Amino acid sequence: MVMKGSDVLNKKIFALILAFVIVFTLTIPISAGQTLYQLVMSQDTFFVNGKLFNSGDLPILNYRGVNYVPLRKLSEALGIETEYDPVTKAINIVTKADITKTETVKVEKSVEEIAENVKSTVFISMYSDIGETYIGSGSGVVVGGGLIVTNYHVIDDAVRYGISYNNTPDNQEYGRSGFIAFEMFRDIAVIPSPNELIQAAKLGDSSNLKLGQKVVAIGSPKGLKNTVSEGIISGFRNIDGYDFIQTTAPISPGSSGGGLYNMQGELIGITSLKQVDGESLNFAIPINDVKRILNDNNTLLNRELYNCLSTYWYIDSAYWFNSLCFPDGTQYHVNYYLFNEHEGADRFLANYKDVTFRESFSIKLDEIHAKLINAGYTNYILNVNVKNKSLEMQYKDNELVTIRNTLFDNP
């Protein structure tokens, strides 16, 4: 006998009004919400979700061929309180929660509330060389774990880029270069977030989107930092073999890499492109495609490799490395960069001449080797680049086969 919904609660309370519950069958399963109650007559035992409840403490009385279960013991097993009123000589049933409720309803937010996601939005400036040759700007979204998601085309042509958060003062930015992961044809890039304390966007599910549902876009069109706009999902398109969300939420150059949110404030897409000769024909990459890249084994490895040297401390000095790591067939390329003095490049070169410094740094390199081996890579090239000098080591079958070190060379 299986009972569901409000019938379970009503019949359960009706049964508990009796001093004893009459049991006729050998096994009685009762489903209330997500909880399964099972009474096994032959063993005098009671199970809650398969877990034994007070074995031997739920006695069953057989009187004239009818089985009875003590009211108080059964009510305790079901999580329902009973109270005896000595004046009225009545047994009161006390329930503290609706045990039939199984789903949490998502509350729709206002546009003002969803606009709070500007805290998770970044402004990205691109530079074509190690200097300060500015070539454009785009957007990105902090997704947690020290990561930012943007479009590949936003930073493809940039040797370096600057990241500004919503609360970053004007004319200030964090300098970065390299990737944690990228997928060129899907137009997704994952880059490190210089400030890991920044609030991350909550990732939604793009598999259950509906035509016509309201959405909110946040990005930096034409360099206008963290602009908020709203619209609807106007279609689902496949362009060159890839799925896109079509939306009427305005998107302009500079919006690329920004976030598209549902009315629960969840990130459901990364704004990517628009049709320039049409009105309100804007497109975003579904967030589930982004999740696939974020959860890829190489992305997870690259994140670990980045963390190995993102900040390298020696005594009281910090060195801020950028990284670019990627597989190439059976070989893995691991590259670390110090370009400018604010990253510690000049101090690193000066200190590298010290034996103690080199020994300390080699411990970090050993940690990097171990992570590659644990990931199953036995063939890899490790580069440490400081300005125009480098340390390059090539490994085959976990054996060092070549090494080239110009970090000692004079300028």
The torsion defined by the Cα of 18, 23, 29 and 33, in degrees rounded to 10, comes to -10
Lowest mean pLDDT segment, chosen from 56-60, 100-104, 205-209: 100-104
Which residues are CB-contacts of 262 (< 8 A; sequence separation ≥ 6)? 204, 209, 213, 214, 215, 268
What percent of the chain is predicted at pLDDT more than 90?
Answer: 47
Could you state, in order of their start, the residue ranges of all structural domains in the chain?
6-94, 115-192, 208-292, 296-405
Please say if the pLDDT value at position 21 is more than 60. Answer: no
Pick the more confident residue, 115 or 42: 115
Mean pLDDT of the chain: 80
d(CA 176, CA 196): 14
d(CA 34, CA 212): 33
Fold of 208-292: Thrombin, subunit H (2.40.10)
d(CA 50, CA 136): 61
CATH class of 115-192: mainly beta
Please say if the pLDDT value at position 241 is more than 60. Answer: yes
CATH architecture of structural domain 6-94: 2-Layer Sandwich (3.30)
pLDDT of residue 403: 94
Q: Is 55:48 a contact under the CB 8 Å cutoff?
A: no
Which residue in 136, 165, 173 sits closest to 153, CA to CA?
A: 136
Mean pLDDT of the 251-271 span: 92
Instruction: Identify the active-site residue in 120, 187, 193, 255.
Output: 187
Per the annotation, the verdict on 333 as an active-site residue is: no
Q: What is the pLDDT of residues 289-336, one digit of tens each?
A: 999 999 999 999 999 999 999 889 998 889 989 898 988 888 899 999
Please say if the pLDDT value at position 11 is more than 80. Answer: no
Instruction: Identify the active-site residue in 256, 272, 310, 323.
Output: 256
Q: Is 248:231 a contact under the CB 8 Å cutoff?
A: yes
Three-class HEC string of 241-292: CEEEEEECCCCCCCCCCCEEECCCCCEEEEEEEECCCCCCCEEEEEHHHHHH
Half-sphere exposure of 214 (CA within 13 A, CB side): 10
Mean pLDDT of the 368-384 span: 93
Where do runs of H (alpha helix) occur along 323-380? Answer: 345-351, 355-374
The enclosing H or E element of 168 equals: none
* pLDDT range class, residue 14, cuts 50, 70, 90: very low
Q: Is 123:220 a contact under the CB 8 Å cutoff?
A: yes
What percent of the chain is predicted at pLDDT more than 70?
Answer: 72
d(CA 55, CA 45): 5
Q: What is the pLDDT of residues 172-221, one digit of tens each?
A: 888 888 889 999 999 999 999 988 789 999 999 999 999 999 999 999 98
Per the annotation, the verdict on 157 as an active-site residue is: no
pLDDT of residue 251: 82
Please say if the pLDDT value at position 101 is more than 50. Answer: no
Instruction: Identify the active-site residue in 128, 153, 243, 390.
Output: 153
Long-range contacts of 310-313 (CB under 8 A, 24+ apart): 310/192, 312/361, 312/364
Per the annotation, the verdict on 342 as an active-site residue is: no
d(CA 46, CA 32): 15
| Same CATH fold assignment for domains 6-94 and 208-292 | no
